[in-house]
């Protein structure tokens, strides 16, 4: 029987699909909707230390081939999402979820992570190094020296499963430089990619979002080639202990298949989820399973990372992987 089960950091998930932080995850009601859908898990809105209103409206616009947004990190604050996670741990102790977070400064990031470290939270934490839409705040992950310093400081005290969300990189040397830094630390995953910033979308003679005079992050179909390139580049370069979550341009089961083919262990859905709602998880899962069945694949490990190159037979370049090996659930 075809299975889309997967695992990250030893945690088992019944499906490889989930939401992307920023979509259907602001409130507990939205998170419950994702949790009770065909998705394997959810990630919260990226939490800051305190509640943030975010950028002024309109700040998100669906467009024909995707979306443009400049949200500005609106969220209900760390305690809101952390308390919800702790409550879920009591109600559903065998099901893992993701908590996304970032500070508005390196100092605040450490305050947040130390709160999580001191709590009873047992799930996975995503440190968002890629938010491009806060005026005056650069994307941390484009500054390799700062990224290295922050990770060094974080892992001096943070011992729970931690991964990072990344902006897209475009130069091969940047993949090399970033991977060299990430491989120094006990990261559990990297999430590739956040929206591609900064774009403009114009209707008639006017931009469609208000913040930053219309500049915003681009998502949806526009960015799939960039997302796939980032997933595969990091799959080639990162040590096997650091898994990949693929995000960007996932409209169909074929798109999810390509992310996994490039090396993703899980796949996040953003723009399509915003346009279609949580029913997208069931449809895309069904389409992915149909492709797997047609190709004779029983599980994700049959094809994950096995992208073929023109003019050569496929060579496994990164790791030996057991074919459809049973997943072991980690007790935390």
Active site positions, annotated? 131
Please classify residue 194 by burial: count the beta carbons closer than 10 Å to its beta carbon, then call 0-12 exposed, 13-18 middle and 19+ buried: buried
Sheet holding 66-69, edge to edge: 60-63, 66-69, 216-219, 196-199
Q: Cα–Cα distance between 193 and 176 in angstroms, integer?
A: 16
Q: Cα–Cα distance between 236 and 238 in angstroms, integer?
A: 6
Q: Cα–Cα distance between 21 and 126 in angstroms, integer?
A: 10
**In 64-195, which ranges are E strands?**
66-69, 98-101, 124-128, 162-166, 189-192
Contact by Cβ (8 Å): 56, 210: yes
3-state secondary structure of 160: coil
- What are the residues whose beta carbons fall under 8 Å from the beta carbon of 257, sequence distance 6 or more? 288, 291, 292, 303
Q: Phi then psi for 295, rounded to 5 degrees?
A: -90, -5
The DSSP result for 201-269, as a single string, is -EETTEES--GGGG-EEEESGGGHHHHHHHHHHHHHHS-TTSEEEEES---SHHHHHHHHHTT-SEEEE
């Amino acid at each position: 029987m075809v299975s889309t089960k997967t695992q990250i950091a030893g945690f088992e998930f019944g499906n490889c699909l989930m939401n992307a932080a920023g979509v259907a995850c602001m409130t507990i009601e939205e998170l419950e909707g994702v949790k009770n859908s065909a998705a394997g898990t959810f990630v919260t809105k990226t939490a800051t230390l305190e509640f943030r209103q975010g950028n002024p409206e309109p700040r998100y616009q669906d467009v024909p081939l995707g979306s443009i947004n400049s949200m500005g990190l609106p969220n209900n604050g760390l305690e809101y999402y952390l308390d919800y996670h702790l409550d879920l741990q009591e109600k559903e102790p065998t099901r893992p979820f993701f908590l996304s977070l970032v500070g508005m400064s390196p100092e605040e990031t450490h305050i947040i992570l130390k709160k999580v470290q001191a709590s009873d939270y047992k799930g996975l934490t995503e440190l968002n190094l890629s938010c491009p839409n806060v005026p005056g705040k650069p994307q941390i992950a484009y500054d390799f020296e700062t990224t290295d310093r922050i990770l060094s400081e974080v892992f001096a005290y943070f011992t729970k499963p931690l991964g990072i969300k990344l902006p897209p990189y475009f130069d091969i040397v940047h993949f090399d430089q970033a991977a060299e830094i990430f491989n120094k630390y006990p990261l559990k995953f990297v999430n590739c990619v956040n929206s591609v910033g900064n774009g403009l979308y114009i209707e008639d003679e006017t931009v469609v979002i208000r913040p930053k005079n219309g500049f915003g992050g681009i998502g949806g179909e526009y960015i799939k080639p960039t997302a796939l390139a980032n997933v595969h580049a990091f799959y080639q370069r990162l040590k096997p202990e650091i898994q990949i979550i693929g995000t960007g341009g996932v409209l169909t089961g074929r798109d999810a298949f390509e992310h996994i083919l490039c090396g993703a262990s899980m796949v996040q859905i953003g723009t399509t989820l915003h346009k279609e709602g949580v029913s997208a998880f069931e449809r895309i899962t069904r389409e992915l399973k149909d492709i797997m069945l047609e190709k004779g694949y029983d599980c994700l490990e049959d094809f994950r990372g096995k992208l073929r190159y023109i003019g050569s037979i496929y060579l496994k370049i990164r790791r030996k992987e057991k074919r459809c090996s049973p997943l072991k659930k980690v007790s935390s």
